[in-house]
Amino acid sequence: MRTTRSEQLFEEAQKYIPGGVNSPVRAFKSVGGTPRFISKGIGSKMIDVDGNEYIDYIGSWGPHLFGHNPGFIIEALKTAIENGTSFGAPTEIEVKMAKLISELVPSIEIVRMVNSGTEATMSAIRAARGYTGKEKIIKFEGCYHGHGDFFLIKAGSGALTFGVPTSPGVTKGNAADTLVADFNDINSVKNLLHENKNQIAAIIIEPVVGNMGTVRATDSFIKELRALCSQEKIVLIFDEVMTGFRLAQGGAQEILGIKPDLSTFGKIIGGGLPVGAYGGKKEIMEIISPSGPVYQAGTLSGNPLAMNAGFAALTYIKNHPDVYIILEEKSAYLENGIRNNLKSVGKNYQLNRVGSMMTLFFTEEPVTDFNSAVKSNTKLFGKYFHGMLNRGVYLPPAQYEALFVSTAHTKEDLDKTINANLDALNSLK
């Protein structure tokens, strides 16, 4: 596989961009090798600058539910761009978009548009703090909520300790207000609540995690978490930037049967353009400026290009409820093929799937939380990743990420992927 042009571009990019990329995982640092520079996306495929074609299971990290460049989104963008790219003033499409999100997700009464998932989660935390008058938050080890300072925290030395920064530039003050619990362990939450009585403003969680690989919250855990938040008057925030409109029309909260107080969205609601949103209960959201005193603003929030693309995507979902049936059939087919391959090579590597999100963990122990996920053999995954890439299948270049199936993936794509998976697994022996 020829990669000359990608190698040249990566060498040049490192002179002008930190690490040569504008988001760290793109650099292939955890798997080694040279990242592929992409020139075009068509349906289920990506083509790089050297002309290599790949079956794409990143889908821009989730937004491309329908594959690259679906016609109805392209048409929506063409119409929008003819009218103007940005105004800094209200537009009708913002109202239509907010109304549609509220219609499709039962927990959303009022929603505010922003420009990224990170903006959405940061703003949701601020709203929760303003609403409750409390300062501390609880997050879960292994859940990623963007690069806001108070999210880049890991667990300290014990279950009851404050978190510690995972990145230089994050202050100890920020870390002190963030407590870290264990995913799928309700007792770790109860212990933190006991030690910090009446100090917790919010608990934020990915109800189905995509950033330590695909891991689902158990029914009992998420139900108890909801009950605890109600009991202690804590704002429960579901981070559905990745899962919103991907796992179901109502997101992970529909699958789990739980109503959070606030939710955050991104990815699919922009139809492939930069976007974010947070929303939920009216009484909480009305504390946001200009309705209330909690300030949050953004020059490009509700950008007409992103709103038109997102509105086209969500309207398609509303009018085609079979989208999730199609995604389930394709994803189950891929899962079964990989499971059969694992049996044939005599490996019990863990394959977690929820809807169209899936992760193959290179560990033989069940993966239910961060501690079990990090038992994966990342060096082995790196070899597997390149084995798949060289066979024309583009997976997330990191063990602790989810792959995404789209409606554009054909049976031929899935069969080719399953065959490549078998060859790649055999090459690891």
Contact 70, 26 (CB under 8 A): no
Q: State how far the Cα of 85 lies from the Cα of 303, in Å rounded to an integer.
A: 7
Q: 248 and 105 in contact (C-beta within 8 Å)?
A: no
- 261 to each of 236, 239, 249, 308, how far by Cα in Å? 5, 11, 18, 27
The active-site residue out of 57, 144, 278, 394 is 144
Written as six digits, the tokens of 61 are: 């990290």
Q: Are strands 200-205 and 235-239 parallel, antiparallel or unpaired?
A: parallel
Candidates 267, 330, 369, 413; catalytic one: 267
Quote the CA–CA distance of 61 and 40 in Å, as a whole number: 16
Interatomic CA distance for residues 412 and 410, integer angstroms: 5
136 in active site: no
Active-site position among 56, 177, 239, 369: 239
Burial of 148 (0-12, 13-18, 19+ CB in 10 A): middle
**Residue written as token pair 């109800």:** 207
Task: Measure the CA–CA gap between 128 and 278, rounded to whole angstroms.
Answer: 11
239 assigned to active site: yes
Task: For residue 144, indicate whether it is catalytic.
Answer: yes
Beta bridge partners of 360: 351
- Structure tokens, 322: 């079979």
Amino acid making up residue 203: I
- Give the active site residues: 144, 239, 267
